[in-house]
A = this chain, B = another copy of it.
Amino acid sequence: MLDTIRRGFERFGFVPVETPVFELSDVLLTKTGGDTEKQVYFVQSTGALKQSDAGADKRPELALRFDLTVPLARYVAEHEAQLNFPFRRYQIQRAYRGERNQKGRYREFYQCDIDVIGKDQLPLAYDAEIPAVIHTIFRELAFGPFTIRLNNRKLLRGVLGALGVADDRQEAVLHEIDRLDKQPRAEIEARLTGEGFGLEPGSVGKLLDLLTGHRGDARGAFAALRRLDSNPVLVEGIAELEYVYDGTLALGVSEKALQVDLAIVRGLDYYTGTIYETLLDDHPRLGSICSGGRYDNLASHYTKSKLPGVGISIGATRLFSQLLELDLVGGRGSVAHALVLAVEPALAAECARLAAELRDAGLNIEVYGGDDKLGKQLKYADRSQIPLAVLYGSRERDAGIVKLKDLRAGAAIREHDVPRGDLVTRVKQLVG
C-alpha cells in the first residue's frame, strides 16, 4: 500500500523528503494549543535525564514529530534559499502521539503527505492537481469506488457574509456546520437559532438547504451560490471552487469521483481556500480517509517569507487497519514466489543455480537449508504461504526435467514436470 502511494506521488513528479524524527520542542509547540501538547512525546537521552533531575520542571529539548506539517514548515524555512519554488515534496514517514492505545488510535502511525509550496504566490492550477494525484492512487489501490469532495473556505465565509453572519461569529457557525455529518440537522438548526448564536430561523434554513442540497450537482450548486447577495469573498470563493472543479475534471478525474460538497468545513483554522475530503462510497462511516487543502502561509512562525501551499494527507496506518477489519485488504502472503527444496546434498550447488536463474528473471526465490524430510519442507512452504515448490533430485536430473509442485489451494494441476530449459518461463507463467 505504501509502495503504491509512493509510486503515485512520484508519477506526478513529487520529490521525496525525509526529516528527522526529533524536532526541537520549542519549534514543535510554537503553534499548537493545549490538546496537541498533551499528546507530544518528549525525548531525553540518559545523560539529559540526569541533568533534569536537578533542574526539575524544565521541558525536554527534543520531542517526536506528531505530524508531517510542522516538520515541512521547519524544513522549508530552513532550506528556503536552496529550494526551487514551487517546491513539490512528498513525505511518507511515521508520526507519534502520546495517546492511550485503543482501536483506531495509534501512538505510532504512517502519514503520507504531498504539498506544493509557492513563494509569495501559488497558482490555483496546483489545487486542481492534488485530487488528480489522489484519484490515480486510490484507483490503483482498488479499495472500491470513492469520492473526492471539494469545497472552499472563502466561499463558506462569503456565504455566511451574504446571509448576514458577522465576521467574528463565522468560525463558530462553521464549527456547527462541520457537525452536519454526525448530528441531526434539527439539533444544529436549534443551536444556531438559539441563544448562543441568535441567527434568524429563515437564514439558517436557507444556509443549511444551500450547503446540503446540491451534493453531486456541482452546476446546481454554482447557480444557487450566484443567486445569493454578492460580496467580494463570495465571488472569489465561487471562482476558485469552479476553477478547481473544472481543472480537476480536465485532468481526467471522472465526474462520478469528484463532488462539490458545500457542507465540508475541515476542522482546522489552518486552511484558507480549497479543502478536500475523500470517502469510500461503500464505507461512509470510515469518514474522510484523505484530507487537505490550501493554506495562505506555511511557515509564518519560522520565516518572514510568505509561503502559500496546498497539500493533502493520507493517514495510512488508520486506513489500513480499518480496511483489514472490513476484510477489504488481506495480509501480504509470502514474499517468495517459490521454494527450492533441498532434495539431495550432492545436488545443492545445482539447486542453487536454479534459484539464481529464477532470481535473475525477477522472481523471489527461497532455498531450503539443511536435510529435513521432503514432507517437512513442503509443510514449511505451505505454512509460509509460498505458492510453488521446485524439486530437483537425481531422478529429475537424469530425465532433464524439474518438478514443480503447485501448493495453492485452488490449483487445478498439482504437479508439473517441465524441461530444465523451460524452468524460468514455466515458473513465471505459474506464479510470476
| Other-chain contact of A10, B96, B107, B364 (Cβ < 8 Å) | B364
A108 / chain B contacts, CB cutoff of 8 Å: 20-22
Check A365 against B13 for contact (C-beta < 8 Å). Answer: yes
Binary contact track A29-59/B, C-beta < 8 Å → 1, others 0: 0000000011111111111110001001100
Check B384 against A84 for contact (C-beta < 8 Å). Answer: yes
A138 to chain B, nearest CB (A): 15
Binary contact track A340-374/B, C-beta < 8 Å → 1, others 0: 00100000110011001001000111110111000
Within A131-162, the residues touching B (CB, 8 Å) are: 136
Known A42-B46, A47-B38; contact A10-B335, beta-carbon cutoff 8 A: yes
Q: Is A410 an interface residue (CB 8 A)?
A: no
A14 / chain B contacts, CB cutoff of 8 Å: 335
Binary contact track A103-121/B, C-beta < 8 Å → 1, others 0: 0000110000000100000
Check A37 against B46 for contact (C-beta < 8 Å). Answer: yes
Check B369 against A126 for contact (C-beta < 8 Å). Answer: yes
Binary contact track A82-103/B, C-beta < 8 Å → 1, others 0: 0010101000001010100000
Q: Is A240 an interface residue (CB 8 A)?
A: no
Q: Is the interface of A mostly helix, strand, loop or mixed?
A: mixed
Q: Is A226 an interface residue (CB 8 A)?
A: no
A411 / chain B contacts, CB cutoff of 8 Å: none
Check B15 against A335 for contact (C-beta < 8 Å). Answer: yes
- A320 CA / B352 CA spacing, docked (Å): 31
- A20 CA / B106 CA spacing, docked (Å): 11
Known A46-B37, A369-B123; contact A94-B21, beta-carbon cutoff 8 A: yes
A1 / chain B contacts, CB cutoff of 8 Å: none
A363 / chain B contacts, CB cutoff of 8 Å: 11
Known A43-B64, A64-B43, A84-B384; contact A250-B349, beta-carbon cutoff 8 A: yes
Known A43-B43, A46-B40; contact A335-B16, beta-carbon cutoff 8 A: yes
Q: Is A334 an interface residue (CB 8 A)?
A: yes
A64 to chain B, nearest CB (A): 7
* A residues apposed to B, CB below 8 Å: 10-16, 20-22, 37-49, 53, 56-57, 60, 64, 84, 86, 88, 94, 96, 98, 107-108, 116, 122-126, 129, 136, 247, 250-252, 332, 334-336, 339, 342, 348-349, 352-353, 356, 359, 363-367, 369-371, 380, 383-384, 386
In the complex, 29 of the A-B residue pairs with CB atoms within 8 angstroms, ordered by the A residue number, are A12-B366, A13-B334, A13-B365, A13-B366, A13-B386, A16-B335, A20-B107, A20-B108, A21-B21, A21-B108, A39-B45, A41-B43, A41-B44, A42-B43, A42-B44, A42-B45, A42-B46, A43-B43, A44-B60, A45-B98, A46-B98, A47-B98, A53-B57, A84-B384, A122-B370, A123-B370, A125-B348, A136-B359, A252-B356
